[in-house]
Structure 1
C-alpha cells in the first residue's frame, strides 16, 4: 500500500467507483488484489467518517427512504451448506435516504431488515436534518414505528405502496424480469404531507445506481462481497463519490453542492487527500492510546 502514490490511488478508486471488479482492476493497474482491497477498506472508513461529520444540519425538505438487498458470502438460504461461511454471512440490506430536490444521499445504513435496523437508520437521519421534512417510505412495517419514535408528530409522513401483477402470458425465459406495477396507493400517516410529493421514485433510482457502480451488487454472478466490512466500506465509498464527485445530470452539479454541503465538485485526487488526512489522524490517535496505556 505504501508504494502507491496519489495518482495510482486515485485511478484505482475511480475504477472501483465505476463498477469495475477488483480482479479486473488488478489486471489493468498491476496492483495486487490485496492492495486494492486494503485501499477500498481505507477509503470506505475515511468516507464514512467524513460524511458522518459533514452531513449535518441538512436543509432537506422532501426525503424518500428505501432498502436495497444484497448478500455477503452466500444468500441466507445457502449459508448452512456453504463451506467456511463467516458468522455474518447471508442477506444484508442497505437502507438509504435521498433528498428528492438536491438528490443528496443524506443517510445510509448497512444491516438487516429488522425493526432495530429501521430504528437506527431513522434516528440517524433525524439527527442530520435542520428542519421539518416530508418523508415517504414504502410499506415495510418497520418504518412506521421507527418514524413515530424518532419524529413524533414533527413530520409529514406518508407510505406509498405499489401493487404488482403478473404479466399475462409471461414466458419462462423472462422469469428474472420484474413484475408489472398495476397501481399505487398513497397513504398519509402523520401530519399533512403534500400528495403530489408522495413518491419513492428518486430513492429507487438512486438504489439502481448502486448495482451499476458496485460490482458486488450485480445479480446472478460470483462478484458478491465476502466480508461485511468490505461491503460496508464499498457502500461508504460509493456514497462519497455519489455526493461529492459525481455530477448529477439533473442539476449539472454534485448533490453536495446542491445541498450546500460544499462549494465545489471534488476530484478523485481530493478524495485521496481526504483519505490520507484520515489515516494521519488514525495514526496519531493510535499513538496517543499507546502512550496513555504505557502511563
Structure 2
C-alpha cells in the first residue's frame, strides 16, 4: 500500500485523527497540521437539507448536533452558517406604519462572545400592542447602548411611543423624559419583553447561560439574534 501524502505540503508524516461525520477515517499531517480523508467524495447538499438546517438554527441545538442530524460535515455547516448570518438584514420588518398612541417595553440581557470576559448586551424594544420586536442593538451596557437602541427604533416610535424600562440609568439619559417610565418587575409593565427574553434564551443555544454552544465570532452572534428576531416577528402573523 502506498504511503499517505499530505495534500498541502507533500509530507508523509501522517497519523490517524479520529473519524468524520460519516465514519470515514480522518488523517492529520504532523508537518503542517492539515486534516484530510483519503479519496474524499464531494457531497452536494440539496435545498431540502438547507431548509431543514435553517429551521434547526432557530432551535436550541449546537452546530455539532445539527451536523449529525442532517448528515453534513462540521466544516461545511460552519461555512454555511457564516454565510447565512452574514446575510441576515440588521433591520426590523415590522407592521406598524401610522402615528398614534404607542407603548413599548425595553430591556437588556447579558450574553458573551468567545469567553465571559467579552460581554455583549442585547438591547430590545417590544411593541405592546403587536408584540413585535421593534428595536435591537447588541453591544455594551452603557449610555451608548441605550442610544443605539433608541436609534434602532422606527421613526414613528421615537416620535410617539411611551417606553417602559427597568431602572438602568442609561435609559433616562437617552429616552425623552416625558415618555420614559422606569418601573419594577412587580408592576407587570415590562412583562412582555421579559417573557420574550426567556423565550430567546431557550431557543437560541448560544444564549443559554451554561452552554458549550457560545458564539466565537461577534458577527455570528449578532446574526443569530437578528435571525431569531425576524422569525419571531413573522410568526406573529402566521
| TM-score for both structures, normalised by structure 1 | 0.60
The structure with the greater share of residues assigned to helix is 1
Partner of 1:207: 197
Task: Tell me the distance in 1 between the aligned counterparts of 2:189 and 2:227.
Answer: 27
In the alignment, structure 1 residue 161 sits paired with structure 2 residue 184: yes
Runs of 5+ unmatched residues, structure 2: 1-42
In the alignment, structure 1 residue 66 sits paired with structure 2 residue 107: yes
Partner of 1:108: 136
Task: Tell me the distance in 2 between the aligned counterparts of 1:212 and 1:58.
Answer: 31
The structure with the greater share of residues assigned to strand is 2
Task: Tell me the distance in 2 between the aligned counterparts of 1:7 and 1:61.
Answer: 41
Q: 1:42 to 1:129 in 2, by over 3 A?
A: farther
1:235 pairs with 212, 215, 225, which one? Answer: 225
For the pair shown, the structure with the greater C-alpha radius of gyration is 2
Partner of 2:4: none
Please give the root-mean-square deviation of Cα atoms over the aligned residues, in Å. 2.4
Runs of 5+ unmatched residues, structure 1: 77-89, 163-183, 187-197, 247-253, 258-264, 266-295
Q: What is the 5 A alignment of 1:189-228?
A: 199-228=189-218
Equivalent pair of 2:63/2:74 in contact (CA under 8 Å): yes
Partner of 2:48: 7
2:123 pairs with 89, 95, 102, which one? Answer: 95
Equivalent pairs counted in the alignment come to 194
Partner of 1:167: none
Higher relative contact order (CA 8 A, sep 6+): 1
Deviations 1:172-207 (A, max 9, x none): xxxxxxxxxxxx4x7xxxxxxxxxxx7110000001
